């Protein structure tokens, strides 16, 4: 079973009912978990997001210690990438202990309301080894842990507990945005390419 782009059955609007059940869900393997880490950390979507956030921070010169030029952009990009890598490493490793699946599963075939609900639900929950949904504790641990750990290498003006807390909230918002992209972009891409022919 593939990760992003996985489709759930279309017979119900309930996200829990639409989720893969014990008969159709295949637990994530160690190899798939490693592939998820590489793709979610170094894939095109993640690198593009890093370019945007580093560019935005450079334009605002936040934090000021890094400066408003290319050198500052590189530092911001690197800081963000190390934070993302740490978060995903914690999530992947911790989740492997209790069978939490970090992959996103699309709700293809559901009405738009159901698909939006899937985006939100899959921000806070994750598949377990039996295919059921449960709170994504490994994701929470990765998000919070990486943001507090990264205070050790961040600029002084961005390394307080309050700064880490803000980054945790931004991480949740970023996860929801990533889910929305995974849910709807394949359909948008098909529509665009079909219109070109």
78 pLDDT above the threshold of 60? yes
H-only helix segments in 61-160: 70-98, 112-124, 137-149
CA 147 to CA 81: how far, in whole Å?
A: 12
Classify residue 23: in a domain, yes or no. Answer: yes
Which residues, 6+ apart, have CB-to-CB distance to 38 below 8 Å?
none
In a domain, 41, yes or no: yes
pLDDT value at position 190?
85
Measure the CA–CA gap between 121 and 117, rounded to whole angstroms: 6
160 in a domain, yes or no?
A: yes
Closest CA to 129 of 104, 100, 105: 100
For residue 134, the surrounding DSSP H or E stretch is strand 133-135
Full domain range(s) for residue 153: 6-196
Q: Is residue 189 part of a domain?
A: yes
State the pLDDT at residue 24. Answer: 83
Determine, yes or no, domain membership for 87: yes
pTM equals: 0.83
Give the residue-averaged pLDDT of 85-101. Answer: 97
In this structure, the chain runs to a length of 197
Average pLDDT over residues 130-158: 96
Which pLDDT score is estimated for 191? 82
**Is residue 33's pLDDT more than 90?**
yes
60-72 pLDDT, tens digit each = 999 999 999 999 9
Alpha helices in 99-160 (DSSP H): 112-124, 137-149
Task: Judge whether 71 lies within some domain.
Answer: yes
Of the pLDDT bands very low, low, confident and very high (cuts 50, 70, 90), residue 194 is confident
Q: Give me 181's structure tokens.
A: 């992209």
Please say if the pLDDT value at position 53 is more than 50: yes
Please write the tens of the pLDDT for every residue from 115-137. 999 999 999 999 999 999 999 99
pLDDT confidence bin for 197, thresholds 50/70/90: low
State what percent of residues in the chain have pLDDT above 90: 79
Is 1 within a domain?
no
Nearest C-alpha neighbor of 123 from the set 44, 35, 15: 15
pLDDT number for residue 2: 39
pLDDT at 5 over 80: no
In this prediction, residues 136-148 reach a mean pLDDT of: 98
- Which of 18, 178, 181 is CA-nearest to residue 102? 178
Q: How many domains does the chain have?
A: 1
In a domain, 113, yes or no: yes
């Amino acid at each position: 079973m593939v990760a992003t782009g996985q489709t759930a059955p279309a017979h119900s609007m309930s996200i829990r009912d639409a989720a893969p059940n014990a008969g159709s869900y295949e637990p994530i393997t160690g190899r798939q978990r490693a592939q998820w880490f590489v793709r979610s950390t170094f894939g095109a979507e993640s690198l593009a997001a890093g370019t945007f956030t580093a560019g935005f921070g450079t334009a605002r010169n936040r934090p000021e210690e890094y400066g408003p030029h290319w050198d500052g952009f590189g530092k911001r990009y690197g800081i963000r990438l190390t934070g993302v890598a740490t978060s995903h490493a914690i999530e992947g490793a911790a989740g492997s202990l209790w069978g939490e699946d970090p992959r996103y599963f699309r709700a293809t075939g559901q009405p738009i309301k159901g698909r939006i609900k899937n985006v939100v639900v899959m921000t806070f929950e994750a598949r377990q080894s039996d295919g059921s949904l449960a709170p994504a504790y490994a994701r929470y641990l990765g998000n919070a842990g990486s943001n507090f750990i990264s205070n050790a290498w961040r600029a002084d003006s961005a390394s307080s507990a309050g700064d880490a807390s803000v980054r945790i909230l931004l991480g949740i918002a970023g996860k929801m945005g990533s889910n929305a992209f995974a849910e709807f972009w394949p359909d948008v891409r098909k529509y665009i390419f079909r219109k070109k022919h």
